[in-house]
Structures are given as structure tokens and as C-alpha cells.
């Protein structure tokens, strides 16, 4: 019997609470972990990252089965979760820890990410430049347990957060 080889992807899209559910509900996704990447502090805590001084992004680290879901499909799911023109954060979450980025693990992911960004730029969907960074993946640090699968643990607060932040309205107006 052939062994299943899982692959990984990592995306920053503002508050990681809002980025888990869209991926977690997709067939072929094995797990989605909230955490931090891209900074200069080892093993940062939520309290440290939240200050915006560690250089980290809030990210989702995704393990997936490439036989069931492609990296391109993950990109196609990622973009409509964010405002790719905002370099100061996402919606009401402000600061460098809430910037958007695609972290790639290999040259194929890098090429697909760059191509998908070009397609969004060419689409004319946005008047402002697409500033989402495409960066090599570095160390990933898992967030504390209370931040994992927030949408399942706190469904009402999760829904409220998506509405109050402006994320839900932005997605409806710009991506649907």
C-alpha cells in the first residue's frame, strides 16, 4: 500500500482566528494550526506577537493531502479571505502582525503564489496595488491552545468578530 505524503502550506491573513475555518472545512485538509512565523524571536507568545515588535505574522499552518486538494486550490481559497491591498493589517486588526503573506515551502509553491498574485493584479478587481508578500517559509511557532480552532470553541464570538472587524462585509463586496 502506498504511503500518503502530506504537504504543508502557510498563510497570513490578519487575525488567525478568522483564517482557520475556511481551510478546516475543505476536503483534503488534514489540520490547520494557528501560530506565528516570520519574526526574529524564538518561541514567541501571543502577548509578545500582539505588541507588533517581534516581526511575526499571525499565520495558519496547513497540512494537506495533495491527492485530494492542490496547492492552487489552497491559493484560490486564501485570496478571498483577505484584503490584499492593506499593508497596515487586516480590517480592524492593525499592526505588522496582521499583514498578509503567502509563505512558500518550495519553488513550485513560490511560482504558483506569484502567478496567482499576478492574476489578481490583472483582474482589475482592486484599484490599489496588491501588497500581499510572498516569502520563504521559516520557523513556525504554534499558538497557545486557546487560539486553536477558535471558531469551534467560541462560535458566537467568532461570528461577531468577522462581522465587527469588517471582514465579512469586505469579502461580500469584493470577492463574491
Task: Based on the residue annotation, tell me whether 18 is a catalytic residue of this protein.
Answer: no
Residue 46 neighbours by CB under 8 Å, 6+ apart: 143, 144, 147
Residue 60 neighbours by CB under 8 Å, 6+ apart: 10, 11, 12, 13, 16, 19, 20, 23, 32, 33, 34, 35
**Marked catalytic residue, from 9, 12, 15, 101:** 15
CA–CA separation, 83 vs 168, rounded Å?
11
Strand partners, 48: none
Give the catalytic positions in this structure: 15
Amino acid at each position: 500500500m502506498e504511503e500518503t505524503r502530506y504537504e504543508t502550506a502557510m498563510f497570513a491573513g490578519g487575525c488567525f482566528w478568522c483564517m482557520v475555518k475556511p481551510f478546516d472545512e475543505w476536503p483534503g485538509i488534514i489540520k490547520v494550526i494557528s501560530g506565528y512565523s516570520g519574526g526574529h524571536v524564538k518561541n514567541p507568545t501571543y502577548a509578545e506577537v500582539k505588541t507588533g515588535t517581534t516581526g511575526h505574522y499571525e499565520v495558519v499552518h496547513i497540512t494537506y493531502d495533495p491527492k485530494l486538494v492542490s496547492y492552487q486550490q489552497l491559493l484560490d481559497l486564501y485570496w478571498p479571505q483577505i484584503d490584499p491591498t492593506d499593508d497596515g493589517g487586516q480590517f480592524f486588526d492593525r499592526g505588522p502582525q496582521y499583514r498578509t503573506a503567502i509563505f512558500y515551502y518550495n519553488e513550485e509553491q513560490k511560482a504558483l503564489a506569484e502567478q496567482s498574485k499576478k492574476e489578481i493584479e490583472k483582474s482589475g478587481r482592486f484599484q490599489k496595488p496588491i501588497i500581499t508578500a510572498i516569502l520563504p517559509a521559516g520557523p513556525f511557532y504554534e499558538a497557545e491552545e486557546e487560539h486553536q480552532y477558535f471558531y469551534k470553541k467560541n462560535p458566537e464570538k467568532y461570528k461577531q468578530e468577522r462581522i465587527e472587524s469588517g471582514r465579512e462585509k469586505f469579502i461580500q463586496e469584493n470577492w463574491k
